[in-house]
Structure 1
C-alpha cells in the first residue's frame, strides 16, 4: 500500500510542478504547518489521480478548471493560481478572457466580472508570451 501511496504522491508532485510550478508548491508549503495531511491529499488526489489521467490534456483540464472556479464566484485565490497554470500549459490570454466571458451566460455577470478582474491581476504580473521577461 505504501508503494501505491508513494506512486500517487510522486505522480502528483510531477503534475503539480508541470502545471502550477512555483505557485502550486507555495500553496502546499503554506499548508505544511497547519494541515500537512491536506497538503498530501491535494497532491495525491487532484494532481496524482485526476490531472494525471489520459482522457484530457493539461490545457483542456485547465480550461475546465478556470471555468468551474470562475462560475463559483467565490474562489478568486484558486482561480488566480489556475489562470497562471492555464498560461503555463499554453492557454492564451485571449482564450482565458473568452472563457470568462462565456461563464457570464451561465454563472452571471458578477461571477464573470470577479473572474475577469482576477485574470487582469494575473496578466499584470505575467508578461505575455514572447515578451521580454
Structure 2
C-alpha cells in the first residue's frame, strides 16, 4: 500500500519509504522490530521515527552519514540514559564507516560535557558492541 500511495504523490508515504530505506542503510535492519515492538502501544510513534527521524533528518544532505552517526553517539552519551539507543547507534556508526577508535574518542570527549559516569557507561556499551563484532582493541 505504501508503494501505491507513494506513486499517487502522498508525501507522507514518500517520507515513510525514504525513512525505511535510510534506516536499513544505516542499521542493516528493516526496522520491522521497531514497528512490531511499538505496534500494540503506539504504531504512530514508530511511523514518526521512520518519517521524521530517518526520512527527514537522517536524509538531509548537510552531513555525511558517518558524521551524523558520530554526532548521534555524542548526543546519546550526553543524555546518559539511552543505553538501548546508544548500542544501536554505535553499531550504526560502525556500519557507515566510523572506526572503533573514533567511537571511543567521541565518547571520551563527552566526559567533558556529560560527565564521567555517562562516558563510562557508554564505553562499556561500546565494548559490548565491539566484542559482538570482533573488533579488538589496538595493541600497544
- Scaled by the length of structure 2, the TM-score of the pair is 0.86
Is the contact between residue 16 and residue 25 of structure 1 (CA under 8 Å) also seen in structure 2? no
Change (3 A) 1:79 1:93: same
Of 9, 14, 21, 2:21 maps to 14
Is the contact between residue 23 and residue 30 of structure 2 (CA under 8 Å) also seen in structure 1? no
1:100 paired with 2:104, answer: no
How many aligned residue pairs are there? 129
Give the corresponding residue for 1:28: 35
Give the corresponding residue for 2:51: 44
1:125 paired with 2:125, answer: no
Structure 1 consecutive aligned stretches of length 4 or more whose deviation exceeds 3 Å: none
State the shift of 1:29 in Å.
2.6
The structure with the larger Rg is 2
Q: Give the superposed CA RMSD.
A: 1.8
State the shift of 1:31 in Å.
1.3
- Scaled by the length of structure 1, the TM-score of the pair is 0.90
- SS in structure 2 opposite 1:90? coil
Is the contact between residue 20 and residue 31 of structure 2 (CA under 8 Å) also seen in structure 1? no
In the alignment, structure 2 segments of 5+ residues that lack a partner are 1-7
- Structure 2 distance, partners of 1:93, 1:23, is 24
CA-to-aligned-CA distance 1:59-89 (integer Å, 9 cap, x gap): 1100100000001111111000000100100
Q: How do 1:34-113 and structure 2 match up within 5 A?
A: 34-113=41-120
